[in-house]
Amino acid sequence: MNLLHKLTEKPWLAQPEGAELALAEDTSLRFPARTALKFFIAIVSVLFFLFSITFLSRSQFPNFQALAGEPWLPLSHPSQLWFNSGLLLLASVGLELAKRQAARQRVNGLVLALGFAVICSIGFVIGQYLVWLQLSGMGFTISANPANSYFYLLTAVHALHLLGGLLALARLIYLFGERPNLASLQQNLSLCALYWHYLLLLWLFLFTLLAAPADAYRAIAAFCGL
């Protein structure tokens, strides 16, 4: 509504003297990095949306064999993936805690929570790699079937985004070491926490998609008209 109101302004009409200054908010309240992160999350969402659409479309071609659904298929009981999901959830919780510790100016708690989050994140990436090894060991290699190709592709792209987040977090910690400023750190940690929560949600979506049986794909594809 607010945007609609802005877009219907008539800028050619004269404003009363001094109104311009009232229109602008205080610049010190602006936090451009949050806006940029929201856009970035939108871009990543579009990326995965497009991957998913192609996945659903490809799943309707005859040689596609889902990775779950029958007892002998590897993702019918994906215990390692559940474990990895737990790690990512813990990482997300850890960052949320770190953000709150920074807000309360508790440095010890902050370091503990951050360390926990980083270890869980790295654990998630390693866990995903172990799933890759298990799958390829069982003969489910990347080019053997399109469902496998998508599994490797989507988990790799997701893990790359997490590694990118870890790089950003490392830079944040380095900058904090250079110039300790808890207020600024808390603000930036809130961005990291938001990004981690997003990656968790994204992973849960991918997990659901990749570990679904062929019937589910058929139903979704029919619903989407694919």
Partner 1 sequence: MNYTAIADRPDESHHPTTFVTKYIWSQDHKVIAIQYAGTAIFVGLIALVLSGMMRLQLGFPDSFSFINPSDYLQFVTMHGMIMVIYLLTALLLGGFGNYLIPLMLGARDMVFPYLNMLSYWTYLLSVIVLLASFFVPGGPAGAGWTLYPPQSILQGTPGNDMGIIMMLASLGIFIVAFTMGGLNYVTTVLQARAKGMTLMRMPLTIWGIFVATILGLLAFPALLVSAIMMLLDKLVGTSFFMPALVSLGEPLSYQGGSPILFQHLFWFFGHPEVYIVALPAFGMVSDVIATHARKNIFGYRMMVWAIVAIGGLSFLVWAHHMYVSGMNPYFGFFFATTTLIIAVPTALKVYNWVLTLWRGNIHMTLPMMFAIGFIFTFTHGGLTGLFLGNVVVDLPLSDTYFVVGHFHMVMGVSPIMVLFAAIYHWFPKITGRFLNTSLGKLHFWITFLGTYAIYLPMHYLGFLGVPRRYFAMGADYIPESAQTLNASITVSALIVGLAQLVFIANLLWSIFRGQPAGDNPWNATTLEWQTATTPPGHGNWGAELPVVYRWAYDYSVPGVKADFIPQNCPQSAVELVADERAAADVSGERGGPYNEPTA
Interaction between residue 39 and partner 1 (CB under 8 A): yes
Residue number with CB closer to partner 1 (87 or 99): 99
Interaction between residue 143 and partner 1 (CB under 8 A): yes
Interaction between residue 177 and partner 1 (CB under 8 A): no
Secondary structure (H, E, C), the chain: CHHHHHHCCCCCCCCCCCHHHHHCCCHHHCCHHHHHHHHHHHHHHHHHHHHHHHHHHHCCCCCCCCCECCCCCCCCCCHHHHHHHHHHHHHHHHHHHHHHHHHCCCHHHHHHHHHHHHHHHHHHHHHHHHHHHHHHHCCCCCCCCHHHHHHHHHHHHHHHHHHHHHHHHHHHHHHHHHCCCHHHHHHHHHHHHHHHHHHHHHHHHHHHHHCCEHHHHHHHHHHHCC
**Contact with partner 1 (CB under 8 A) among 112, 119, 122, 142:** 142
Residue 219 pairs with which residues in a beta bridge?
none
Interaction between residue 170 and partner 1 (CB under 8 A): no
User: What single-letter amino acid sits at 115?
Assistant: G
Min CB(70)–partner 1 separation in Å: 20
Residue number with CB closer to partner 1 (93 or 154): 154
**Contact with partner 1 (CB under 8 A) among 21, 71, 177, 223:** 21
Interaction between residue 216 and partner 1 (CB under 8 A): no
Interaction between residue 153 and partner 1 (CB under 8 A): yes
- Let me know: does 158 contact 203? Beta carbons within 8 Å: yes
Residue number with CB closer to partner 1 (55 or 203): 55
Per rule CB under 8 A, count of chain residues that contact partner 1: 46
Interaction between residue 51 and partner 1 (CB under 8 A): yes
Interaction between residue 76 and partner 1 (CB under 8 A): no
Binding site for partner 1 (CB under 8 A): 6-12, 14-15, 17, 20-21, 23-24, 27-28, 30-33, 35-36, 39-40, 42-43, 46-47, 50-51, 54, 57-58, 61-64, 142-143, 146, 149, 153, 157, 184, 187-188
